[in-house]
Structure 1
Amino acid sequence: MGKIVIVPEEYEHQSNLEPKDVLEEEKEKPDFSLFYVFSMVMAIIFLFKLTDLQVVQSAKYQYLAEGNRIRSRDIFAPRGIIYDRNGQVLAQNIASFNLEIYPADLPKEKESRQEIYKKIEDTSKINTPDIKERIEKEGLFSIEPIILKENLSRDEALYLKVKYHDVMGVEVAYRPSRQYQTTPGLSHFLGYIGKISEKELVEKPTYQMNSWLGKTGLEFIYEDILKGTNGKKQMEVDSKGYIQRVLADLPPKSGNNIYLGLDLDLQKETAFALEEMIKQLNVKNAVAIAMDPRDGSILTMVSLPSYDNNIFTQGLNPEEYQKLLNDPSKPLINRAIAGVYPAGSTVKPFIASAALQEKTISEKTTLDTSIGEIRIGEWVFPDWKRHGVTDVKKAIAESNDIFFYALGGGYEKIKGLGIERMDKYLQLFGFNKETGIDLNGEEEGLIPSPEWKKKVKKESWYLGDSYHLAIGQGDFLATPLELLNAIWAVANGGELLKPHLIKYESDQNGNIGKEFPKQIIRKDFIEGNNLRIVREGMRQTVTEGSARQLVDLPASVAGKTGTAQFDKSDRTHAWFIGFAPYENPEIAVVVLVEAGGEGHTAAVPVARKMFEKYFSKTSNSNKQD
C-alpha cells in the first residue's frame, strides 16, 4: 500500500507562490562571498608583514632601537708638536676645557630643560634665553655638542664638573689646545689653528662642526701631518640620558711631529738685534732671514712687527681681530715673503754674474769712473762718489754705480747687457717668481720690461730704465726671500734651491717618517769661475768696502750692502745680503730695515749679530764633539 506523506503547512504555503515571487525573494538575500574573500586576503597580508617584521627585519629594528640608547662621543686627537732643529718646542698642546651641551641628551619635557638652562645661567653667567636659542635652533635631536663656554680655567672646569655630574646632556669636555713660543717672528711662519668654517666643512667632509684645523703658516700647510685621528667612545644611556656603561673606547691617534731647520736660539738673537735697531732708528718695519745654502733650509725668519698667535687659540673676538687688521703697521703680514721692495745695490752681484756669463766683460775689464756721472743728452746718471779706475770685483765692493750703468745699458768700451738679457738672468736667479717655500701668502717681485712699461705706464723703454734696473732702482722689486734665494745660488756655486722650513716628520715614538731634502730648481746657469769672481768681489765688500764691520768675525764673510730709494723723498731702505764662511758657506743672510737709511749703518750691524750667534753655537758644538 502506498505511504501517506503529510506536507508541512509552510511548504504548502510556499507551493502556492508564483515563480516570479520566488525569484524576487532569492534576490533579497545578502551575498557575503566578496567580504569573505577580502577578509582572507587581508589576513594573509597581515601574517606576511608580521613574519617580515619579527623574523626577516628583526636585526634591523633591533639596531635602530640600540641607536636610541647608544651615544657616541668623539675623542679629539692631540696635534703633532713642532720642534726646531735642536728639539726645542715651538708649538705644543695644552689642556683646554669647554662647557658643552648635547641637545639629543636633554630631557624631552620643556620644564626639565628650563631647569637645566637656569642652572647653567646660575653657575656660568650665561643668560637663559641665549642658552635656549643656541641649543634649540640646532634642533633637540642634534647629537653634535654645542659649546657654551670655551677655555675654562682648570679650577673653573673642576667646579663645573662637580656641578653638572648628574645633569642630563651637559658635560665639561677636555679638548687639546695649542700653545706657541712667543719669540718675535715665529707667528708668521708657525701660523695658528682655528675653528672650522662652513666653507671649510664643505671642503673637508671628514671634519666636524666643532673641529679645529690649521688656518695659516705651517699649521695650515702641514695640516694632514699634524692633525692626527680622532678616537671614539660609545656609551649606553638609559631613558633619561644617564650613562650606564661604556660599550667601546677607541683611543685617538696623535698627529705626527715635525722638525724644522730653524734654530730657535738664532731666531731669538736675530729678533732682539732687529728690535734694537728699529727702536734706535725710530722706524717700525724690518726683516731678517738666514738659511743654509747647502740644502735650502731656513735657519731663522723674523718679520717685524710681529704678533702673538696664541690669541687665536684663546678665542679671539671679532673686535680684536678687526683691530689687528686695521693696525697701520700691518703686523699680520710676513714681510719676509710678502713684502716687495726696491732692492738697491744688492742686485749688483747678479748683474755682474750675467755680464761675465755673456762675456760683455771679463775679470780684467776696467772702466775709468772718476768722472762721477754719466751724461746722456740732458739726462744725468750720478754715482754716490768718484771711484776711479774700477774692475768688476772693485765695483761690487765699492758699489760703483757708473760701472753697473755700463753693464746694464752700455758705456764707453763696455757693451751693455740690455734689458732682454738682464731680464733673462734675473729670472734665472729666481726673481719675479715665488720661491715655492712651504708657506702660504708668498708674493713675487717685479722685473720691469718694455712690454710691462708700455702696458702699465703707457710709456716707452729708455736707456735710463736699463741703467736704473742695473743698480736695483726704478721699477724693480723683490721680496727679501727672493734676494736670499738668489744670493745663496752665488754662495753654493750655482744651485738655485727651493727654500723650506720643514726637515722631517716623526711619530710619537720618535720614528722618522718623511724627510724633506734639498730641491734644486736649476743649476749651472752661471759658470763656476764667473761666480768665483763675484764672490771675491763680495768678499772685498767686507775687507775693503761698505761692510768692514764684519771683517773681524770668527768666520770670513762675503756680502753686499744696499741703499734703496723707495719714494720721491730722500728716505731709503737699508739692505745687506751675505754668506759665511766665504770659503765654504754654511749660512746666508738677508737683512732689511725699512726706511732705515744706509745699509752699512742699519742692516750690517744686525747681520753681524746673526753671524756671531751662529758661529758661537757651531764653535761650542764642535768643542763638545
Structure 2
Amino acid sequence: MIRFRKGDGERASLFTRRSLLLAGGQLTLMSALAGRLYQLQVLDSERFSTMAEENRVNVRLLPPSRGLIFDRTGEPLAINRNNFRAMVTSDRGRGAEMVIDRLDQILNLGEAEKGRLLRELRRSRNFQPSVVRENLGWEEVARLEFNAPDLPGVFIDIGQTRDYPEGELMSHIVGYTGRVSDEDLAGRDDPVLQLATMRFGKKGVERSLEDDLRGRAGAVQVEVNAVGRVVRELDRTDGQAGDNVLLTVDLELQRFAAERLRAAQVNAEHKSGSVVVIDIVTGDILAMVSDPGFDPNVFARGITQAEWREMLDNPERPLNNKAISGVYPPGSTYKMVTALAALESKAIEPGTILPCNGYVELGDIKFHCWLKGGHGGLNVVGGLYNSCDCFFYEAARRTGVDKIAEMANRLGFGQISSLGLPGESAGNQPTRSWKQDKYNIPWQQGDTFNLGIGQGYMTATPLQLAVMTARVANGGYDVQPNLLLAKAAPREELAPPVPTQKPAAPSMRLNPQHVALVREGMNLVVNSPSGTAQQLRYDSTGKMLDPQFRFAGKTGTAQVKRISERERAMGVTEAQLPWHLRSHALFVCFGPVDNPRYACAVIVEHGMAGGATAGPIGRDVLVETMKRDPSRRTGTFRKTASL
C-alpha cells in the first residue's frame, strides 16, 4: 500500500493537470494531422493526381516541316532534307560544363558555340534538348556513338535542314534560314519559335513569307523520370507543314541572265552587277540577278566565323541584293523621266527644238554634253535617241525640280516597291526640301541640270529602273512588281494562275501622245542608224535581229568621279582610273517594240560605257525572254490591251 506523505497530493494534482494538457495537445496535433491527411488524400486527391501525372508526362512541341519554294515552272528552289544532328539535354545546366567540354574535344566546337550551348541548357524549359551541331557526317556520328558512355544527355537525332539546289544563282531571291533571334521574336507569340531546332527566314522570300512557310507545330507526349529524362513516347500529334509557294521567276531565264552578266563584264578582277526582267502587264519578276551571290547552303549547315568575315570583307558585297538594295545614279536612263515631266508640265511641246553647242554655261562652270561640239537643235525624240545632255539640261531648267520629282515618283523612284523582300532601298529622289533638310543648303540651278540627266544627288535601284521602263512601255499603267505567283497548303494543288491579258494596275493618266514620243525615242536609240545603241540591232554574231524580236532601249553611263578640265587636258581617260572610280554602265529596254510585253534593266558596276557593256547583256536577255514567251507556241505574242 502506497502512502503519500504530506505535500504529495499537491504534486499529484499538478502532474495530472500537466498530463491532461499534454494529452490534449497531442490529441489536437493528431486531429490536425488526420484532417490534413484527409484533405490531401480525399479532398485534394484528384488535383494531386493530376500534378503527379503532369510530372510523369511531359508535352513537347514538334517543329513543323517548312514549306517548299518553286520557280514558275515547278523547279525546286528550297527543299527540306533529313540530316543527323547531335542534341544535348541537361538538368538545368548542372553538369553541362563537363559534357560540353567533352563535346568540344570530339567536335571542335569553339568558345562561341560552347557559350551558346551552356546558355541554352541553363534556360531550357522542360529539359528541352539543344542542338550541338547539325548535318553531321558519318565519321562524326561514329565518334559520338563511340564516346556515348562519357556523354550523358547527348544523343543523335534525325531532323530536317533547308537545302537550296540552285545555290548562288537564286540566293538573293530565295534567301536562307538561321537560328531564331530575339529580333525575330518581336511581335510573334508562336511558342514553336522557342525551340532550339527551329529555323527562321533571314533574307529573301524565306523572310518575307516566313509566316506562311513556317507551318503549325505538332506535339508529342513523353513519359519522363524524376530528373526529366525521357523514358518513352506516349502519344504524338503531327504538325501542319508550311505552305508551298510558286515564284514568278523563270529559273532557266535566271540562269541565262546570270551567265550572260558574268561573261560580259570587262574587269577580270571585279565582277559586280544586276539584271532585272519584268512582265510589263502583270508585274511578274521573271529574273532578278545580283552578281556575285553567295551559297545559302553555307548558312543552312552553319557558317563559320572565317566564312562570314570573308563575305563581309569582299568589296563586291556578295550578301547585298544589288537588284533591290544597290543604289546608283541612273544616268541617261533617267532622261525618259525628264522628257515626260517636261511634256506633261508643258515646259516643252512635242515639236520644241532645244539647242546643243556641246556645253551649257552656268556662271563659271561648264556642263558638257557627251558629244564634243554638240548635236545642234533637237526635239524631244531626237534628244532621247541621241542622248543629248544639253537638251535635257535645258528641259530640266524649264520644268523645274518639283515637276521632275513628281513624275519620277509616279514612275516608281524614291520609294519602296510592293515586292516585299527585306532590305530594299528607296534610292533617293532629291527635292528642294530634301536638300535643305539634309545639307541646310538651298537647291541650285546646277542641281537641276544634274538631275535632268540622272546624276548629282539622284540614285535608284535596278528594280526601280525596270519598273520605270515597264510603266513607260505599257502606256502609263501603274504596274507593281511581284514575286509570288501562287501559294498552297502541302496537300493542295500548286498551279500558276491564268496569265493576265490586261493591265490590272490603274492608269497614271499620262498623255498617250507624250508616252508614245518617249517610246519612239527609245525605239530609235536601238533601231535608228544614228541611235546611241544602234549596234544592238544585231545579235552577238553580227546578224540582224528577227523583226519579231526588235526592241527599244536607252543606254546610260553614270559617272562616279568627274574628270576635271585639267585631267581632260592631260588626256586622262576613264579606263586609266581605278576600278572603283569608273562609271557604272546601265541599259534599260522593252520588247517587242511594236507590242511590248517585257522590260529589262541592266547595271554593270564600274563597267564604263552603257551601250558597249550593259547594252549587249540587256539585248540578249530580253531576246531570250521574248523567245520563252508562252504565246509563241501559237506564233503570236500576247496582246497588251492598253497598246
Category of TM-score, reference length = shorter chain? 0.7 to 0.9
CA distance in 1, matches of 2:378, 2:422: 44
Does residue 565 in structure 1 map to residue 547 in structure 2?
Answer: no
Contact 1:435 / 1:485 at 8 angstroms: preserved in 2? no
Q: CA deviation at 1:192?
A: 0.8
Tell me the distance in 2 between the aligned counterparts of 1:200 and 1:346. 39
Shift in CA distance, 340/521, structure 1 to aligned 2, threshold 3 Å: farther
Kept in 2: contact 1:168–1:240 (CA 8 A): no
- On the 8 A contact 1:429/1:489 being kept in 2, the answer is yes
Query: What is the aligned partner in structure 2 of residue 400 from structure 1?
Result: 388
**1:321 match:** 308
1:231: how far off?
2.4
Q: Bigger CA drift: 272-281 or 154-163?
A: 154-163
Which of 534, 549, 564 aligns to 1:548? It is 534
Are 2:514 and 1:526 aligned? Answer: no
Match for residue 439 of structure 1?
421
Any idea what SS the aligned residue of 2:135 has? Answer: strand
The C-alpha deviation readout for 1:290-317, integer Å capped at 9, x for no partner, is 1111121211111122111111111112
| Residue in structure 1 matched with residue 127 of structure 2 by the alignment | 143
1:246 and 1:238 map into 2 onto residues whose CA distance is 12
Question: Aligned pair in 2 of structure 1 residues 365, 200: CA closer, same or farther (>3 Å)?
Answer: closer
Query: Mapping of 1:288-299 within 5 angstroms?
Result: 288-299=275-286
Aligned equivalents of 1:418, 1:62: Cα separation in 2: 81
Residue segments in structure 1 that go unaligned for 5+ positions in a row: 1-7, 410-415
TM-score normalised by the chain length of structure 1: 0.85
Q: Does structure 2 retain, via aligned residues, the 8 Å contact 1:484–1:577?
A: yes
Distance in 2, matches of 1:542 and 1:495, equals 24
CA distance in 1, matches of 2:61, 2:161: 15
Corresponding residue number in structure 2 for 1:495: 477
Higher strand proportion (structure 1 or 2) = 1
| 2:628 partner SS | helix
What's the secondary structure of 2:378's corresponding residue?
Answer: strand
Alignment of 1:156-555 (within 5 A): 156-157=140-141, 169-182=153-166, 184-201=168-185, 204-205=188-189, 206=191, 207-210=193-196, 211-236=198-223, 245-279=232-266, 283-369=270-356, 371-385=357-371, 386-409=374-397, 416-511=398-493, 523-544=507-528, 545-551=531-537, 552-553=545-546, 554-555=548-549
CA radius of gyration, larger in: 1
Instruction: State the alpha-carbon separation in 1 of the partners of residues 249 and 82 from structure 2.
Output: 26
Deviates more, 1:295-304 or 1:615-624: 615-624
1:598-624: CA deviation from partner (whole Å, max 9, x where unpaired): 111001111122123212222696169
Matched, 1:595 2:579: no
1:485-527 Cα offsets, whole Å, 9 max, x none, are: 2221111222223322112211112335999999978632422
Identity %: 30
1:63 equivalent in structure 2: 50
Structure 1 residues 585-607: Cα deviation after superposition (integer angstroms, max 9, x where no partner) = 22111001111111110011111
| 2:541 aligned partner | none
Q: Deviations over 1:253-290 (max 9, x none)?
A: 21111111101111101110111122556543211111
Matched residue type, 2:161: S
Give the Cα separation in 2 of the matches to 1:60 and 1:438: 51
Amino acid of the structure 2 residue aligned with 1:145: P
Q: Does the residue aligned with 1:472 lie in a helix, a strand or coil? A: coil
Q: What letter is aligned with 1:182?
A: E
CA contact (8 A) 1:307 1:332 kept: yes
CA distance in 1, matches of 2:152, 2:433: 71
The alpha carbon displacement at 1:481 in A equals 1.6
Partner SS state of residue 583, structure 1: coil
Query: Do the aligned residues in 2 keep the contact of 1:366 with 1:391 (CA within 8 Å)?
Result: yes
Q: Which residue of 1 aligns with 2:35?
A: 48
Q: 1:228 to 1:514 in 2, by over 3 A?
A: farther
> Any conservation in 1 of the 2:478–2:508 contact (CA below 8 Å)?
no
Structure-2 change in CA distance of 1:521 and 1:49 (3 Å): farther
Q: What displacement does 1:149 show? A: 3.2
Contact 1:102 1:143 in 2 (8 A): yes
Does the CA contact (< 8 Å) of 2:246 and 2:494 recur in 1? Answer: no
The letter of the residue matching 1:408 is: A
Deviation for aligned residue 1:151: 1.4
* Separation (CA, whole Å) in 2 of partners of 1:562 and 1:187: 27
The equivalent of 1:5 in structure 2 is none
Q: Is the 2:358–2:368 contact (alpha carbons within 8 Å) kept by the matching residues of 1?
A: yes
Residue range with higher mean Cα deviation, 327-336 or 26-35: 26-35
Equivalent residue number for residue 542 of structure 2 = none
Sort the Cα spacing of 1:363 and 1:114 in 2 relative to 1 into closer, same or farther, 3 A: closer
C-alpha spacing 1:556/1:99, structure 2 compared with 1 (3 Å): same
* 2:89 alignment partner, one of 94, 102, 109: 102
Give, as a single letter, the amino acid of the residue that structure 1 aligns with 2:380.
V
Distance 1:152 1:615, change over 3 A: same
**Structure 1 residue 240: Cα displacement:** 9.3
Is the partner of 2:82 in helix, strand or coil?
Answer: strand
Gaps of 5+ in 2: 538-544, 564-573, 575-581, 637-643
RMSD of aligned C-alpha atoms? 3.9
Are the structure 2 counterparts of residues 482 and 216 from structure 1 closer, same or farther at C-alpha, using a change threshold of 3 Å? same
**Is this contact kept in 2: 1:283–1:595, CA < 8 A?**
no
- How many residue pairs end up in the alignment? 599
- CA, structure 1 residues 472+51, in 2 after alignment: closer, same or farther (shift >3 Å)? same
Distance in 2 (alpha carbons) for counterparts of 1:520 and 1:616: 24
The answer to whether the aligner puts 1:585 opposite 2:592 as a matched pair is: no
Q: Is the 8 A contact 1:102 1:170 kept in 2?
A: yes
Residue 125 of structure 1: how far off its partner (Å): 7.2
In structure 2, do the counterparts of structure 1 residues 198 and 423 end up closer, same or farther at CA, with 3 Å as the change threshold?
A: closer
Alpha-carbon distance change, 185 to 407 in structure 1, aligned in 2, over 3 angstroms: farther
Q: Secondary structure at the match of 1:287?
A: strand
Distance 2:109 2:424 in 1: 43
